[in-house]
Copies of this chain bind each other. A is one copy, B any other.
Amino acid sequence: MLKVYDDDWFMQQAIAQAELAAAAGEIPVGAIVVSNERIIARGHNQTEQLNDVTAHAEIIALTAAANYLGDKYLHDCTLYVTLEPCVMCAGALAWAQVSRVVYGANDDKRGFMRFGRELLHPKTKLEFGVLHESCGALMSRFFEGKRR
């Protein structure tokens, strides 16, 4: 069977969320949650707008997904995010027991992988590097703009 929606397609939707963040002057990170090939939640970084360090794209998306499902555990869900999650978000994804996490660009300075994938739930599958050039370019453009 032809797969209409693949990881690249879903990551593109996460990038669209990141672009909303960029347009609002926020560090451009976007996330979506997918269940049964359907997007059930979206989020983009809103830490400045909400004056809240916890308002990361992943936190917003997973809270929205839990609301949608009526279940705080996101079994059978994939979270796509444009940037490697931070320690806080990895911890939240672990509590939510998300089935699969897919991220785009690396975040060597703030990403959770400095501490290893055991920050996630043992059952969570992990993939990264999906559309990493587009995801990374979002960040580079944002920080270049800041330096001008």
For chain A residues 54-85, which have a beta carbon within 8 Å of chain B? 54, 59, 62-63, 66-67, 70-73
- A53 contacts partner chain B, Cβ-Cβ < 8 Å: yes
Number of interface residues of A (CB under 8 A): 26
For this complex, 26 residue pairs linking A to B, each with C-beta atoms less than 8 Å apart, are: A51-B66, A51-B67, A51-B70, A52-B63, A52-B72, A53-B62, A53-B66, A53-B73, A53-B95, A53-B96, A54-B54, A54-B62, A54-B63, A54-B95, A86-B95, A87-B87, A87-B90, A87-B119, A88-B88, A88-B89, A88-B90, A88-B91, A88-B92, A88-B95, A89-B91, A115-B115
Chain B residues with CB under 8 Å of A51's CB are 66-67, 70-72
Whether the Cβ atoms of A54 and B87 lie closer than 8 Å is no
Chain B residues with CB under 8 Å of A47's CB are 72
This chain's copy number in the assembly: 2
**Nearest chain B CB to A56's CB is how many angstroms away?**
9
Chain B residues with CB under 8 Å of A115's CB are 115, 119
CA A62 to CA B94, docked complex, whole Å: 21
CA A64 to CA B119, docked complex, whole Å: 26
CA A92 to CA B58, docked complex, whole Å: 13
Most buried by B among A52, A91, A92: A91
Chain B residues with CB under 8 Å of A52's CB are 63, 66, 72
